[in-house]
């Protein structure tokens, strides 16, 4: 029988830090990662020696990146575990850090994601089992077809789908850590270079480099280390699932999201209507609409209209991707899921500045990895 995270001892986010997501540069991954880690330590008010375990996420960098990076903080003997789970690598690292603290193995753990663009090989291509669609179906083609189907199913327009990018690029223009920092009009988004189907480049996430770090602690760790409990954000639940066989195989990402987030919400004891902030996997614009409906924020076919009416803007009913999301903030792969947690923690603390969702109390982080895996985390402000 499985045990929910909330059935174990409480876990709190106590420190967050980021290195700006940006196009590939000559900056070493060590410099990227240390910037985020040091920022998280400073945010928590902790020395490196207080960290008892580290989970390091990457998807594109070579193996064993943690030790050459973290030794610059001090050779403390801290256990280091490397995590790779495609786009959900950071989410998986955060989950493992939370489980370690919740179980009582450690009082303080670090989840750190860092990556730089590189040519990689997906393991699917090495299975020895050929697929007729290997050279035809790539991510942007898959989601362009889903966008066509979404328009046909709901009656919305392609302009409605493009409004996801307008919103998220506006949010990113307010975020100093975002890769894309320029707001765009609907005309500019729709008039850009076509990538696949009706998708233009600004409706697709940019892949770049960057780093994100989150420190989690137990209540015992908070007290023992004298941390500021007023800024601690409770991790209410952590859910993870992998893809299975669905009745509608074309929408496997949506069905997987629905199952995973339902688990996360159930374990947290809340409903989708209780969410004030959501950071989700919007690698392509249509994903935001599909996933909001799957999460239960609105009914099937309603997301585009609510988006048009401003319900998902900062200051709206529920702020969706106030960081800018993958489309605006960027998607350096390894750090992305951890960066989502950092944004939600800042929102729930009331420290998001011009991106602040008024009265934010509860947030959800959602991430998909190659469609094969999905993670959902619910965080809540401590009252």
Place of tokens 């280091």: 80
Residue 142 maps to a domain: no
CB 218 within 8 A of CB 11: yes
Give backbone dihedrals phi and psi of 259, rounded to 5 degrees, phi first. Answer: -65, -45
Residue 339 maps to a domain: yes
First to last CA, the chain: 31
pLDDT at 132: 60
pLDDT at 133: 62
Count of structural domains within the chain: 1
CATH number of the domain residue 236 falls in: 3.40.47.10
pLDDT at 134: 59
CB 18 within 8 A of CB 175: no
Mean pLDDT by 10 residues, the chain (383 residues): 89 98 98 98 98 97 96 97 97 98 98 90 72 64 86 95 98 98 97 90 96 98 95 98 88 94 97 98 96 97 97 98 98 98 98 98 96 94 88
Residue 240 maps to a domain: yes
Residue 165 maps to a domain: no
pLDDT at 128: 77
Left if phi > 0, otherwise alpha if psi is -120 to 50, otherwise beta: which for 81? beta
**Which of these, 278, 236, 240, lies nearest to 379 by C-alpha position?**
236
Residue 320 maps to a domain: yes
pLDDT at 272: 98
Query: From the CA atom positions of the chain, what is the Rg in Å?
Result: 19
**Which of these, 117, 125, 156, 166, lies nearest to 290 by C-alpha position?**
156
Sheet strands (E) in 116-198: 194-196
**Which of these, 242, 264, 255, lies nearest to 86 by C-alpha position?**
242
pLDDT at 141: 83
CA 368 and chain centroid, separation: 9
CA atoms within 13 A on the CB side of 202: 27
**For 262-303, what is the HEC assignment?**
HHHHHHHCCCHHHCCEEECCCCEHHHHHHHHHHHCCCCCCCH
pLDDT at 137: 60
Residue 160 maps to a domain: no
pLDDT at 174: 98
Residue 182 maps to a domain: no
Sheet strands (E) in the chain: 11-22, 53-57, 80-83, 108-115, 194-196, 199-200, 209-218, 233-242, 277-279, 319-320, 362-369, 373-381
The domain of 241 spans: 5-118+206-381
pLDDT at 35: 98
Please tell me the distance from the alpha carbon of residue 228 to that of residue 111, in angstroms, as a whole number: 20
CA 265 and chain centroid, separation: 16
pLDDT at 159: 97
Please tell me the distance from the alpha carbon of residue 66 to that of residue 143, in angstroms, as a whole number: 34
pLDDT at 279: 98
């Amino acid at each position: 029988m499985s045990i929910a995270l909330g059935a174990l001892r409480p876990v709190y986010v106590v420190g967050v830090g980021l290195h700006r997501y940006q196009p590939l540069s000559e900056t070493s991954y060590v410099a990227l990662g240390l910037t985020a880690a040091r920022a998280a330590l400073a945010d928590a008010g902790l020395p490196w020696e207080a960290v008892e375990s580290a989970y390091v996420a990457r998807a594109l960098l070579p193996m064993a990146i943690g030790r050459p990076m973290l030794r610059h903080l001090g050779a403390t003997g801290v256990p280091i575990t490397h995590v790779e789970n495609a786009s959900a690598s950071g989410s998986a690292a955060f989950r493992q850090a939370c489980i370690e603290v919740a179980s009582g193995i450690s009082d303080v753990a670090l989840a750190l994601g860092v990556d730089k663009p590189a040519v990689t090989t997906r393991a699917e291509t090495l299975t020895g089992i050929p697929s007729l669609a290997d050279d035809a179906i790539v991510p942007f083609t898959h989601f362009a077809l889903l966008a066509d189907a979404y328009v046909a199913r709901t009656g919305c327009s392609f302009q409605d789908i493009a409004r996801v990018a307008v919103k998220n690029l506006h949010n990113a223009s307010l975020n100093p850590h975002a890769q894309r920092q320029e707001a765009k009009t609907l005309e500019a988004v729709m008039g850009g270079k076509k990538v696949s189907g009706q998708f233009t480049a600004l409706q697709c996430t940019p892949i770049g480099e960057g780093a994100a770090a989150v420190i989690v602690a137990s209540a015992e760790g908070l007290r023992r280390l004298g941390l500021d409990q007023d800024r601690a954000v409770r991790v209410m639940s952590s859910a993870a699932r992998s893809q299975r066989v669905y009745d509608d195989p074309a929408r496997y990402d949506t069905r997987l999201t629905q199952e995973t987030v339902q688990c996360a919400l159930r374990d947290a004891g809340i409903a989708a209507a209780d969410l004030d902030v959501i950071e989700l996997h919007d690698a392509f614009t249509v994903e935001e609409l599909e996933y909001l409906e799957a999460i239960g924020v609105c009914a099937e076919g309603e997301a585009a209209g609510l988006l048009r009416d401003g319900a998902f803007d900062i200051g709206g009913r529920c702020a969706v991707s106030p960081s800018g999301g993958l489309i605006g903030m960027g998607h350096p792969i390894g750090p992305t899921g951890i960066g989502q947690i950092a944004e939600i923690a800042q929102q729930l603390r009331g420290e998001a500045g011009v991106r602040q969702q008024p009265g934010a109390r509860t947030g959800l982080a959602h991430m998909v990895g190659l469609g094969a895996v999905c993670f959902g985390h619910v965080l809540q402000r401590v009252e």
